[in-house]
Structure 1
Amino acid sequence: MQLGTRWTSGDPIPSAVPAVLHAQIGEVDRALPVDLLGQPRPRWTLTFLEGRPLAELDTGILVELRADGSVTVLHDSEDEFG
């Protein structure tokens, strides 16, 4: 069994997150606009779907490892399952 985890965008990526996702998660974090009003940053949730890692940001951005070994970044409204 694999357990997920949660962390705040921009914070160091937890060791529980597979390294294959780190670059894309970092790119998403860097692309997020800076909130000048002091609102909390969105949080990531790591889960595993069919044994593959899936990181979802509260904003609906998904970073996932596909069955073919590629890593994709998409918005949940573009998700093939939704």
Structure 2
Amino acid sequence: MQLGTRWTSGDDAPKAVPDALRRGIRSVDDAMPADELGQPRPRWTLTWLEGKPIAELDTGVIVELDADGEAVVRHDPEDGFG
């Protein structure tokens, strides 16, 4: 059993996050516009489903690994933004 974790977008991902997933997360973080109003940044949640890591941002963005071990970014269709 692997436990998940949370961290704030823009911060370094925890060591438990595989490198390929980390690169996908960083690409999402880098693409987010700066908040000039000083609102809190969304947070990532790392979970493990059947031994595979999945990172989900509070906004509904999901980063997971495909069959080749490459990061894939998608949106949760149930978050209201999809």
TM-score, reference length from structure 1: 0.87
1:73 maps to amino acid? V
Kindly indicate whether the alpha-carbon contact (under 8 Å) linking 1:9 and 1:41 is maintained by their aligned counterparts in 2.
Answer: yes
Size of the aligned set, in residue pairs, is 78
Tell me the residue number matched to 1:74: 74
2:10 maps to amino acid? G
For structure 2, the residue ranges without an aligned partner over 5 or more in a row are none
Q: CA RMSD in A?
A: 1.4
Tell me the residue number matched to 2:36: 36
CA distance in 1 between partners of 2:60 and 2:15 (Å):
22
Give the CA deviation at 1:68.
4.4
Tell me the residue number matched to 1:65: 65
Secondary structure in structure 2 of the residue aligned to 1:73: strand
CA distance in 2 between partners of 1:36 and 1:62 (Å):
24
Kindly indicate whether the alpha-carbon contact (under 8 Å) linking 2:42 and 2:58 is maintained by their aligned counterparts in 1.
Answer: yes
Secondary structure in structure 1 of the residue aligned to 2:77: helix
1:69 maps to amino acid? G
CA deviation vs aligned residue, 1:13-61 (integer Å, no higher than 9, x gap): 1101111201110000011111111000000000011110000000000
Give the CA deviation at 1:65.
1.4
Kindly indicate whether the alpha-carbon contact (under 8 Å) linking 2:21 and 2:63 is maintained by their aligned counterparts in 1.
Answer: yes
CA distance in 1 between partners of 2:19 and 2:69 (Å):
13
CA distance in 2 between partners of 1:66 and 1:51 (Å):
13
